[in-house]
């Protein structure tokens, strides 16, 4: 095969060991192969960098190994052109699986230009990802603790969640803390209601009349302590994310205009895909990278499966949630898309399809800097109004009715003529 890169390196990365293979040639003499092993401490990785510079290496290929590749990337970044390769995109020879063979195979494929690099975001985007991804498990843990509080209240015959939409709101927390202090009178507990919740005082008294024991108070206290800690942690994370994205406030506002997308989701979109769409080139490639498009598996002219591929699970999670939220957005184009697909393929596939559309819309908003213009809930009806009108007509005819429909202008003319005749 034709050699593309004359001095390149293949690297097999493990937690404790780096196996490296350097291939070099001047275009005339045979390819020289040199192999070495290094540790993974920063000192050892720096030695690796010096050795690669001494070998005049220009391109480095390393297998995607999660967090184990990050220390190597941090030291080599800026000195070489690094390709982070998905292990599914290349395959060694069966029965010959060793670290030395793997790194040599990587170097050989890289030398011929047969490796495809994964998208690695700039440092600023990577730091933003760390914050948005850290926020997700914190919020999930907060929800789990809230569910434990609901369980304790139910075991104490207290139906607070029936009368209050947010058990851990301002009023709910005041009531829970009063219960922990030993207050048992439903009237006194209901008096802690704030704002519009005071109008539901009688219902609150019924909901707060229970059989609370010291055991329940102890459990409630143990649940409330981590809730306050987690809420503070979420607030700090969101404050830090807001500071980092302050220069992109207008872009977040335009993304927030999409049905089903809120500010938190806009943060996630920018953290995962960034604000430079040149790396994806087209919206279709972005959807494929995110794993939000149908799979392409065909053989002998037959399509075997349309299952979506594995992609960015953080971005996919946010987009599917947006799809469900868009299904409840009134008077929106995306809501009509959801229910149009749900009738044929089910709600789960409809949520993924709407998430796919949201991602493509976000691509153009970020790339072109335009405002989002909703097509409206009747967009599909306007594409072919005659066919849309025929559907209810056929249903009525199957029920035995004779139906005659006229355009609005013709109906007005007919009504005007009948009025003149009656006069």
Please give the pLDDT value at position 421.
44
pLDDT tops 80 at residue 326: yes
Please give the pLDDT value at position 96.
62
Lowest mean per-residue pLDDT among 49-58, 90-99, 218-227:
90-99
For the domain covering 124-244, report its CATH number.
1.10.287
What is the per-residue pLDDT across 72-86, written as a single tens digit (0 to 9) for each? 988 998 888 998 887
Please give the pLDDT value at position 407.
76
Please give the pLDDT value at position 328.
92
Banded pLDDT at 414 (limits 50, 70, 90): low
Measure CA 348 to chain center.
15
What is the per-residue pLDDT across 257-269, written as a single tens digit (0 to 9) for each? 999 999 999 999 9
- CATH fold for the domain made of 7-111: Nucleotidyltransferase; domain 5 (3.30.420)
Please give the pLDDT value at position 423.
42
Percent of the chain with pLDDT over 70: 92
Confirm whether 7-111 and 124-244 share one CATH topology: no
Please give the pLDDT value at position 163.
86
Please give the pLDDT value at position 415.
59
Please give the pLDDT value at position 196.
85
Lowest mean per-residue pLDDT among 116-120, 222-226, 321-325, 405-409:
405-409
pTM above 0.85? no
Banded pLDDT at 298 (limits 50, 70, 90): low
pLDDT tops 60 at residue 276: yes
Average pLDDT, the chain: 87
Question: Average pLDDT for residues 347-376, to the nearest whole number?
Answer: 93
Please give the pLDDT value at position 109.
87
Please give the pLDDT value at position 250.
94
Domain boundaries, the chain: 7-111, 124-244, 248-296+307-368, 384-422
What is the per-residue pLDDT across 119-174, written as a single tens digit (0 to 9) for each? 888 889 999 999 999 999 999 999 999 999 999 999 999 988 888 888 888 898 99
């Amino acid at each position: 095969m034709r050699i593309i890169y004359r001095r390149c390196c293949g690297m097999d990365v493990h937690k404790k060991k780096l196996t490296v293979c350097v291939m070099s040639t001047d275009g005339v003499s045979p390819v020289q192969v040199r192999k070495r092993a290094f540790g993974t401490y920063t000192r050892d990785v720096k030695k690796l960098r010096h050795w690669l510079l001494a070998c005049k290496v220009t391109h480095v290929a390393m297998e995607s190994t999660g967090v184990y590749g990050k220390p190597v990337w941090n030291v080599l970044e800026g000195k070489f052109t690094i390709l982070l390769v998905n292990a599914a995109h290349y395959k060694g020879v069966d029965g010959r699986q060793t670290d030395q063979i793997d790194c040599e195979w990587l170097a050989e494929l890289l030398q011929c230009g047969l490796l495809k690099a994964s998208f690695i975001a700039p440092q600023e985007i990577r730091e933003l990802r760390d914050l948005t991804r850290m926020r997700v498990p914190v919020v999930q843990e907060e929800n789990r603790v809230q569910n434990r509080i609901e369980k304790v209240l139910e075991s104490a015959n207290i139906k607070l969640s029936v009368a209050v939409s947010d058990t851990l709101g301002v009023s709910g927390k005041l009531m829970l803390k009063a219960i922990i202090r030993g207050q048992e009178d439903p009237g006194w507990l209901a008096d802690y209601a704030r704002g519009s919740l005071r109008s539901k005082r009688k219902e609150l008294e019924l909901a707060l009349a229970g059989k609370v024991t010291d055991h329940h108070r102890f459990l409630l206290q143990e649940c409330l302590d981590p809730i306050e800690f987690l809420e503070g942690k979420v607030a700090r994370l969101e404050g830090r994310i807001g500071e980092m994205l302050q220069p992109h406030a207008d872009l977040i506002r335009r993304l927030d205009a999409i049905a089903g997308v809120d500010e938190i989701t806009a943060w996630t979109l920018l953290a995962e895909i960034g604000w430079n769409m040149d790396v994806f080139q087209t919206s279709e490639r972005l959807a494929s990278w995110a794993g939000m498009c149908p799979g392409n598996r065909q053989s002998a002219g037959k399509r075997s499966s349309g299952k979506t591929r594995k992609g960015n699970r953080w971005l996919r999670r946010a987009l599917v949630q947006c799809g469900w939220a868009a299904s409840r957005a009134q008077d929106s184009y995306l809501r009509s898309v959801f229910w149009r697909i749900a009738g044929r393929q089910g709600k789960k596939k409809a949520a993924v399809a709407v998430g796919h559309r949201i991602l493509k819309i976000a691509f153009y908003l970020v790339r072109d800097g335009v405002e989002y213009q909703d097509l409206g809930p009747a967009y599909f009806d306007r594409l072919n109004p005659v066919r849309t009108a025929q559907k209810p007509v056929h249903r009525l005819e199957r029920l035995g009715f004779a139906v005659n429909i006229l355009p609005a202008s013709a109906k007005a003319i007919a009504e005007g003529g009948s009025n003149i005749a009656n006069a």
